[in-house]
Structure 1
């Protein structure tokens, strides 16, 4: 069950219980009505219904409860022996009374209380109105339905119902009130006294006219124990007095026996007693509650004043008319160098740490006459802090007659603020090359530093305090900017974006110096905001950037020329590449024809050749093939430059590629006196690549190694997987040749690069091989690097990614077995 469901169930439970109580009390009151009387002496059911309504406050379900009151009261009257129609009419009258009291008390507040005498007067007025409504209705019912007297009935039931409501309604009003203090011995003694006195006054054998005795005891409770206790005690006294009076006890019943007064009069006297007790006790309870609340508020205000005084950052000193310190806070005591207890009661002139004591004495002497100055400043010599500058604001305290009794001095330490102000002023004056201009919201110049004077040529005396900012700007530029912003030309052009919420705006402006010269200024306009975040002015910081902007323009022109030159060089390079490609294509066809005829001559197609002729033809074939290789390199390089390098990627064994490359350079190495070594992994080395391109890469590396290694040197080729990275394979071509300087390690992979050592030793080659090697390696997702030192050979390492191996695949047996060979020197 939710909280709302629980609250709703509680309301219905209490409402049902209250309606049962209305029925029981009503039936009892009717049953015990005095013999011969047409109405009951007391009707507590009315008080119970009103008390429940007041405890729940202004609730929409009150209408349902009033219907229940009508039914319960009607049933109680019928049960008490009244005719059905009369019982129903009395039920309507009881519901109307409860509705009137509840409506009047909840008309202006949701939940009525007894917090003030106004609340008590409203309760009395509402009770009287409700009782009169019921009395008139009851008089009509008795007159018409029972044939009884109208006026006597009205007076009797009005008193009985008013007394019942006054006795029971305070319980509903005080349902949420707090006890002023916990239950103690005084509560028990007071309760025992009020119950004992009431029982003794109204017991059967007591005939003395002492009905007033319970009221002083009630007053005791009202003054000491609070509204809730008084409300409950009123109920106890009311029930006890009515029941015991009905049983023939107490002074009112005795008066009926000895004085022969009517039963209605006994009831009226009883109700008058209850009404008097209720009004007296409730009045005192409300007054006592107000007094306690006022004292609590006074204590809270005193505590708040003390806390505020002690925690204030400003120094506060209260001095009486004699110049004696009456009170001071912790800040003032710290500045005076002593404790508050030691300073209170001493003369201000004796404890104020100032050099000019005569001035303090004169100020203190003017307190009574009101001649103390409203503000004053002192230099206080504070131990540990040095000299502090304090600004004091003085105010008077007066008594009821208007006589001045005390002077309250509130001092603010402005030493740091003035030092900071001096520092800021020094900074502003030190900025001799930066213009700093302050303006208020209307554009009036309030600050014009020395930098502004130097940059703009105007003196501060010329512009401060005037709206002369238009003198500083080019009017045509201001008009153009106003058209861009859609505003009128004026001060708003400079501060428009800041007014719209931007923190600052930086842009170039053309400013006019006093001598008429124009300068380009980089101006940053920002807002000056107060503590609440609202604009209080503007700050303009400007720097002369005329030369900088001129240099930027010159740089832009130079960059434009450089860009044009680069574009022209790019076009020229593209033309060169196209030319080389075209020429290479044109050379390759006739060269292939030449090599074909050379092969025919070697095969004897034109007749047998002598040994010398075969040697010459062999040299033609060898140089032709070298020229064909150069043409192929040029074509491949052109495709690489154009970004058109196309690779026919498929699964291949890199061992086969290495074997083919080794065979292709075998004709060259076989004629050289070199130690050759090849070491290839025993298992196939599978990669995803273009076998033709890879073979060309390996061939170029081997050709370079042979070319740059003198006879008697060593050339090796290794192909092994990476043990640390199983998904990579390394192809290593090493030689013991002339080596490469460290400065050329990266440059050798550039197109057409030839080292100085190669040029000095007249080693042939266009310088394209290694650039092609890098392009092919990177095209396969790999890398190539070199390790070399001059005269210590060179090692080229190509790293390529592997693919998954195939089952039952074998590579070239010769290379996979490895081997070392030493060839004879070529005599050609």
Structure 2
């Protein structure tokens, strides 16, 4: 930077000397031409005057250009310093890779998170970073070549969990490199773990007394403890149903705890998915009849191939989807079940289509999250915990499937999912 300033100063001094020499030359020429008559032409002086004037204008223009360049250089330097200051003091860690996956920049927070010094790693290609213990974990997450945008969790230690996000730098449509952002989520994970442990403990503590209440009420209804009047029976039946709902809620809470802790165990067997669907539909007949809902089941003429699945958990996933359809379809509505097989993709496709209240568009992104219930169904005062779709999604994805939905408020909702047909029974176990 000092060399540039010295060079600019030299040019300015040279220009000033040239301007001074030009002025002196003009003075000499003027003195020599004293006494020339009005009608006489001085051919010897007209050319030097023009040259001197032109030289002065050129010098001024050059000085203006140099001043503009100096101003622009200072402005660019200030912007660069501001950017570096922001990057340095970011609360998140930041690593910048060029398009060849060479590390160009590591900010202070990233140094702390990864326990490295920037000067030791800058200039290294991504594979070369694996020799540093914490960077080795990061490299295994990012891969040999950083591609696209993704967001994943990275556990550095028991006291540090990071959320790693990547984003390509494409200012003019051409990829120039990749940003890797490290966000500390240790506190969030700790709070989440405490909450999960509390829910698990509370659910376990509730399960035993609820089971005792259930069997006591069942004995009363069956007359094992003596005869009861019709009025007493009605009250006991309502209590029994309320207790069953509480047991269902506790079961859902325990399932969520197991899912989040990776303890939701599957026991797959080769079975017919169509049998699962019929089992669930038959179990819902009483509620369907009460609401006078019209059912329609469409299935292929040929028998579906058997698949590897945990029958109980698959029943639960299908039950949650069908329960939602029944719950949010008004009396006299219609529910259609579509069962098919995609030979090209080798997967079973199942859909539940209702003519219910639908899901508001601005809330659809939260459908598969825990405890979600649409604002419109909250006004209906329908019962529900908002856990069913979260559980169903996890079960289906654990089986290698995909789940999605289409919905329009006031017209209804269609939930669909796929289940791959495994050629070998062991393929299901490999994915868990």
Task: Give me the CA root mean square deviation.
Answer: 3.9
Provide the secondary structure at the position in 1 that maps to 2:419: strand
Q: Tell me if structure 2 keeps the 8 A contact 1:647–1:690.
A: yes
- Aligned position for 1:677: 296
- Aligned position for 2:338: 718
What is the deviation of 1:425?
A: 7.1
Residues 671 and 557 from structure 1, CA distance in 2 versus in 1: closer, same or farther, beyond 3 angstroms?
Answer: closer
- Aligned position for 1:431: 69
Deviations 1:391-443 (A, max 9, x none): xxxxxxxxxxxxxxxxxxxxxxxxxxxx9x999876543123355xxxxxxxx
Work out whether 1:700 is the aligned partner of 2:338: no
Measure the CA separation in 1 of the matches of 2:246 and 2:296.
28
Identify which of 606, 612, 615 aligns with 2:231.
612
Identify which of 233, 238, 263 aligns with 1:644.
263
What is the deviation of 1:673?
A: 2.1
Work out whether 1:777 is the aligned partner of 2:312: no
Identify which of 793, 796, 806 aligns with 2:412.
793
Provide the secondary structure at the position in 2 that maps to 1:647: coil
Residue pairs, 1:90-101, within 5 angstroms? none
What is the deviation of 1:579?
A: 0.5
Identify which of 203, 213, 218 aligns with 1:594.
213
Residue pairs, 1:416-565, within 5 angstroms? 427-435=65-73, 543=78, 547-556=82-91
Provide the secondary structure at the position in 2 that maps to 1:433: helix
Residues 546 and 798 from structure 1, CA distance in 2 versus in 1: closer, same or farther, beyond 3 angstroms?
Answer: closer
- Aligned position for 1:335: none
Measure the CA separation in 1 of the matches of 2:422 and 2:389.
25
Q: Tell me if structure 1 keeps the 8 A contact 2:347–2:419.
A: yes
- Aligned position for 1:628: 247
Work out whether 1:578 is the aligned partner of 2:216: no
Deviations 1:733-792 (A, max 9, x none): 111110112332231111111211012222221211111111111111111111111110
Measure the CA separation in 2 of the matches of 1:661 and 1:557.
49
Measure the CA separation in 2 of the matches of 1:604 and 1:793.
44
Identify which of 560, 564, 568 aligns with 2:187.
568
Identify which of 273, 285, 289 aligns with 1:666.
285
What is the deviation of 1:568?
A: 2.3
Measure the CA separation in 1 of the matches of 2:203 and 2:61.
78
* Larger-gyration structure (1/2): 1
Q: Tell me if structure 2 keeps the 8 A contact 1:686–1:804.
A: no
Deviations 1:300-332 (A, max 9, x none): xxxxxxxxxxxxxxxxxxxxxxxxxxxxxxxxx
Which structure's relative contact order is higher, taking Cα pairs within 8 Å and 6+ residues apart?
A: 2
Deviations 1:362-412 (A, max 9, x none): xxxxxxxxxxxxxxxxx9xxxxxxxxxxxxxxxxxxxxxxxxxxxxxxxxx
Residues 422 and 726 from structure 1, CA distance in 2 versus in 1: closer, same or farther, beyond 3 angstroms?
Answer: same
- Structure 2 stretches lacking a partner, 5+ long: 1-42, 45-50, 52-57, 95-108, 110-161, 163-181, 426-432
What is the deviation of 1:669?
A: 2.5
Q: Tell me if structure 1 keeps the 8 A contact 2:351–2:417.
A: yes
Residues 598 and 555 from structure 1, CA distance in 2 versus in 1: closer, same or farther, beyond 3 angstroms?
Answer: same
Measure the CA separation in 2 of the matches of 1:595 and 1:667.
21
Measure the CA separation in 2 of the matches of 1:730 and 1:544.
56
Provide the secondary structure at the position in 2 that maps to 1:743: helix
Measure the CA separation in 2 of the matches of 1:427 and 1:664.
86
- Aligned position for 1:519: none
Measure the CA separation in 2 of the matches of 1:602 and 1:655.
35
Q: TM-score, normalised by structure 1?
A: 0.32
- Aligned position for 2:352: 733
Provide the secondary structure at the position in 1 that maps to 2:370: coil
Q: Tell me if structure 2 keeps the 8 A contact 1:707–1:763.
A: yes
Measure the CA separation in 1 of the matches of 2:424 and 2:87.
62
Deviations 1:334-383 (A, max 9, x none): xxxxxxxxxxxxxxxxxxxxxxx99xxxxxxxxxxxxxxxxxxxx9xxxx
Q: Tell me if structure 2 keeps the 8 A contact 1:738–1:792.
A: yes
- State the aligned residue count: 292
Measure the CA separation in 2 of the matches of 1:620 and 1:570.
39
